[in-house]
Amino acid sequence: MAVTVTELTPTTGVEISGLSGSRLVDPGVAAECRSALERRGVVIYREADVDDDELVAFSRLLGEVVPLPMGGHATHPEIQRITRDPSKSPLAAYRESTFHWHIDGTTEEVPNRATLLTARRIADDGGGDTAFANTFAAYEALSETERKELDGVRVVHSFTASQLLVTPDPSPKERAAWDRNPAREHPLVWTRRSGRRSLLIGATAGEVVGREAKEGRELLDRLLDWATRPEFTLRHRWRQGDLVIWDNTGMLHRALPYGEASARLMHRTSLAGEEEVA
Ligand code: SIN
């Protein structure tokens, strides 16, 4: 089958058809994937149909795979099952928070490098697409004055901030459980060794250091509205077997809402971070 490669928006996403199963588990394919990830942020292999062994093997060719002991997968501790069905994943109750724009691992010193997500079963209720917003492109499109205003600004990221979006009025017990997850302060603008810059924002961004809560919130909301404008975003409508990989360091992402009874089931692996936020 011929391989076709299509760039999806002026800044973001590349879709590759004609590569599936064991053909993906190849060092050359992985090198091209990493390069596309750097340039385009999101790489989509249409109907890749990788089984769990192939998903883990391909992930290992791309980077260091993070073990996910709470993933809910019986035989592959590297795989997390993404579903709202609590019989399939101990984290099913937290899925609703992924309906808000976020970046994974922002409460860690070094956020994950990338995420791989493959569709085992797609949603049957019209929801469940995955959307991406390119914060490299959003930062670059700010005016010079706006960029200067963000120099030196620091933000506190927490699990609590993301949960408050779903449950704004938690019980004291719920709140105390969330607060046990340590928060982390990071620069708002992440400058890479390569010189590229992205915005580190999203659901976990709770407060701006040294600013009144309202003023900080306004800045974070304004930047999130900006970064998620149509010109910086890409929406993926899943087909069963698709494999989507994104650069977690500069792509906000979210699932479009799907119901608690939805059949949607994704298998996910995560690649360890390679560069701390500076
Ligand atoms: C995630 O937020 O990591 C999962 C996204 C999705 O389920 O589409």
Structure confidence at residue 72 (pLDDT): 76
CB-based contacts of 46, cutoff 8 Å, min separation 6: 15, 16, 17, 239, 242
Low-confidence ranges of the chain (pLDDT < 70): none
Structure confidence at residue 74 (pLDDT): 80
Structure confidence at residue 32 (pLDDT): 97
Structure confidence at residue 242 (pLDDT): 98
Torsion of CA 125, 265, 224, 135, to 10 degrees: -130
Structure confidence at residue 68 (pLDDT): 84
- Centre of ligand 1 to C-alpha 253, Å, is 7
Domain-by-domain residue ranges, the chain? 4-85+110-124+236-271
Of the candidates 208, 222, 259, 253, which has an alpha carbon nearest to the alpha carbon of residue 235? Answer: 253
* Residue nearest (by alpha carbon) to ligand 1 atom 1: 98
Distances (CA, A) of 150 to 51, 144, 155, 236: 44, 10, 11, 31
198, containing H or E segment? strand 197-199
Cα–Cα distance, 94 to 257 (Å, whole number): 13
Query: What stretches of the chain show up as alpha helix (H) in DSSP?
Result: 27-40, 52-62, 135-140, 144-150, 159-164, 172-179, 213-227
CB-based contacts of 88, cutoff 8 Å, min separation 6: 72, 81, 265
- Centre of ligand 1 to C-alpha 180, Å, is 23
- Centre of ligand 1 to C-alpha 117, Å, is 8
Structure confidence at residue 150 (pLDDT): 98
Cα–Cα distance, 121 to 6 (Å, whole number): 24
Structure confidence at residue 93 (pLDDT): 87
Structure confidence at residue 199 (pLDDT): 98
Query: What stretches of 41-168 show up as alpha helix (H) in DSSP?
Result: 52-62, 135-140, 144-150, 159-164
Topology annotation, domain 4-85+110-124+236-271: Double-stranded beta-helix (3.60.130)
* Residue nearest (by alpha carbon) to ligand 1 atom 7: 255
Torsion of CA 38, 228, 169, 208, to 10 degrees: 70
Cα–Cα distance, 240 to 166 (Å, whole number): 28
DSSP notation for 77-99:
TT-EEE-S-TTT-TTGGGGGGGG
Q: Which atom of ligand 1 approaches the CA of 129 most closely?
A: 8
* Residue nearest (by alpha carbon) to ligand 1 atom 3: 98
